[in-house]
Structure 1
């Protein structure tokens, strides 16, 4: 068995269309859909705008997924988006994406999802709460929730380090279970606990543009620039809840018939999640007033909705659902991330050992390096801040990648393109316009979350030149 560095195709092609689709959907559905609608309502105020935000997010995400289909068919290699950026622009641009992915985007998301698992596990086992301090080191306090989150990350890393087949089984099973459980919750809410009075009241002011103030408990009318700011701020949560769909491109080296299955899985996975997310929010509107959604304790709107459906048992129902959801979500994130570091190592832009396949023909060293850094982020408790900082950056890299389609059509006009971006050039251009509009809005209205993200990316520039100088490149 080959345990030396090799081409991405040295990996086992164990994953079919179902597995790839479940990776897309499973990586997207974490804890966001159970929480962020409260913040969205506080920003935009009414039922119509709530559903509009989720539909707009879904449309933008599906357009991006369809556009990535062309790139995935051109470059069916491990590393995915990193490879697309390298081929369209340069190794520096690709490295800055990989750097941001390792330092913050992937690791920070895994840490946040792991802690979300632990926090909801505390509903069932109170001793696992983040209020249960186990060790006070003055600089940092280690609580039970942090250790639980690290424990789940270590377990999932161990399973994935023993072969892609283990990872795919966990991913497919947990994703199917959470889709079915979410579907059951939505059906129960829309048909079993549908409240006509609440529904009519919510939709009677469907397009009022207001912002809810947590302090005073009142709604203030907004319009113009304030409405634009509200929409941009509201989409931060919905976009992150719909993120990570691109992770399937990272594992292209392990997907059967990647030229067909990656693009198709991107479309199917993002479409399934969009339908689920919009339906879940319709369920919230059928069971809860706008005030109840806006002021849900700790933003846990799904818990309040489940209590309206199941009574007090609703808290337990949602806790179990979120544990299933976050566990499966983290499996997909852990599985996919190491494939980017593997390809970066092949380019001489990451630790040499990250480019070595272990005896199970997976990048084991990269998986464990990711695990260690993620665990450190869990202990610092700063992963939430880091994720806020890179919202802006994530959108820029998505836009750059889709602009790469236009670049590569000029740069490599005769390259084989088994699949071409749907709606080219209009739909890809529409995504870029939408993403950059949101970025401009974030720069203006959420500067705290934009400039630090840029700093994190720019810090990668000297690191790139250091690695380029001292580490030889292995492949083209």
Structure 2
């Protein structure tokens, strides 16, 4: 990291690049995996599709609401800046702290784990079963090394300039969209069977939890609070699969005409992905019996669908497609995440070197710090564990950010708003209610993960005051 300079980011990314960063950061491994867990949680085909539709609706609402904030503050940092301006530097820091400790790095790790999961389908020797080292309760698996290797590679590529990362992102996202569209079409044309579709839709609104006991599927009817808990657990997966749409706001300083293009890319990217996700799940229901969806081996429902459609050869093709998808997703996550730490460093709330650009005009130090911690997380958890840990913190800060729109309308009415939140005040309020309800339900039913997540968020409070005391300063609030 030599020849560092302190110049500002240069706007190099157009609307297509921005839209592909939104869509590409969303489309990763989730759409090929989490449908199995959703089906086990809620049972009926109607509820399965409803989870994806509801997720898509609230994601689009959040995205078009963020458009107002991105137009007000078209700079690097995204949610960190929005929360800092709407509330206080402390709230902004808590987001940045949680973003670094679990949200972005945990997501990068989870997607890396998923990449390794499908790589091992093609190359079994790098699978979870291959334990390279065992010390006490810790096991080093070949799949973990694969996860780390892809994170390191993508970090290196992005440390060499934003155009490198953006080119990979645009190219791979287009490939992902084409591949998913082809899978959907082939599924409906060649793999769909009327008897499978009809059987899956016999009792679409029967909410039941599915489990496997002694080789037999056991169904338990859900009602009352247990029903809402199952909904929350199910949406944990669909929300994670639709997350990271806001990554484009982190690199606002590198987008051309950001006051227009960021809001537009948020709307276009989330809409494209939502349509693809709903159609993909309808295709699953047309091709695969519901029980086979629920208990797909290692939850690889995308691989099962390809096998139903194309036969044994199809599973190899889809595994490669999913590897491409997760590779591109992690590229977008890695590219965008480091810009948050850069902005925090400019506010003297992160390592000073994180606020310096290298000769390629990217925050290389931030990128490598992110790489190191995400790699460490690859050693600590499985895909579903990382997913549960991440989504709770994400929901809390999404809700706070949307509430921030109402606050800023009152406290800073003088700031120019070239774009305003669609459907304000009703649509943002709907998002706040739904997302808050899901966060509370996860806190009740997923305490194993949400309590540690909440503890990490709260741990940021003493860290913040320690930093202030050590630097003997008051954090400046940047002007828009």
TM-score clears 0.5: yes
Conserved 8 A contact 2:107-2:386:
no
RMSD: 1.7
Matched with 2:246 is: 246
**1:414 CA drift (Å):** 1.5
Conserved 8 A contact 2:67-2:264:
yes
Matched with 1:177 is: 175
**1:93 CA drift (Å):** 0.4
Residue 358 of structure 1 aligns to a residue whose secondary structure is coil
Matched with 2:290 is: 290
2:6 maps to 1:5? yes
Matched with 1:279 is: 279
Matched with 2:230 is: 230
Matched with 2:417 is: 417
**1:226 CA drift (Å):** 2.7
For residues 132 and 272 of structure 1, the distance between their equivalents in structure 2, rounded to whole angstroms, comes to: 38
Residue 43 of structure 1 aligns to a residue whose secondary structure is helix
Matched with 1:71 is: 69
Matched with 1:454 is: 454
Matched with 1:82 is: 80
Q: How many residues align?
A: 473
Matched with 1:469 is: 469
Conserved 8 A contact 2:102-2:389:
no
Q: Structure 1 444/379 Cα, relative in aligned 2: closer, same or farther at 3 Å?
A: closer
Higher mean Cα deviation, 249-258 or 117-126? 117-126
Matches within 5 A, 1:377-396: 377-381=377-381, 385-396=385-396
Conserved 8 A contact 2:22-2:247:
yes
Matched with 1:266 is: 266
Matched with 1:100 is: 98
For residues 136 and 13 of structure 2, the distance between their equivalents in structure 1, rounded to whole angstroms, comes to: 46
Conserved 8 A contact 2:240-2:387:
no
For residues 359 and 433 of structure 2, the distance between their equivalents in structure 1, rounded to whole angstroms, comes to: 45
Matched with 1:211 is: 209
**1:444 CA drift (Å):** 2.6
Matched with 1:34 is: 32
Matched with 2:128 is: 130
Matches within 5 A, 1:118-197: 118-138=116-136, 140-197=138-195
For residues 445 and 372 of structure 2, the distance between their equivalents in structure 1, rounded to whole angstroms, comes to: 35
Matches within 5 A, 1:45-64: 45-64=43-62
Conserved 8 A contact 1:377-1:383:
no
For residues 24 and 292 of structure 1, the distance between their equivalents in structure 2, rounded to whole angstroms, comes to: 32
Q: Structure 1 74/342 Cα, relative in aligned 2: closer, same or farther at 3 Å?
A: same
Which blocks of at least 5 consecutive residues in structure 1 are unaligned? none
For residues 309 and 273 of structure 1, the distance between their equivalents in structure 2, rounded to whole angstroms, comes to: 22
For residues 190 and 98 of structure 1, the distance between their equivalents in structure 2, rounded to whole angstroms, comes to: 43
Higher mean Cα deviation, 421-430 or 370-379? 370-379
Higher mean Cα deviation, 32-41 or 126-135? 126-135
Q: TM-score, normalised by structure 2?
A: 0.95
Q: Cα deviation per residue 1:383-442 (whole Å; 9 max; x = unaligned)?
A: 753542342221010000000000000000111000000000000011001111112222
Which blocks of at least 5 consecutive residues in structure 2 are unaligned? none
For residues 84 and 477 of structure 2, the distance between their equivalents in structure 1, rounded to whole angstroms, comes to: 12
Residue 152 of structure 1 aligns to a residue whose secondary structure is helix
For residues 310 and 166 of structure 1, the distance between their equivalents in structure 2, rounded to whole angstroms, comes to: 35
Higher mean Cα deviation, 115-124 or 186-195? 115-124
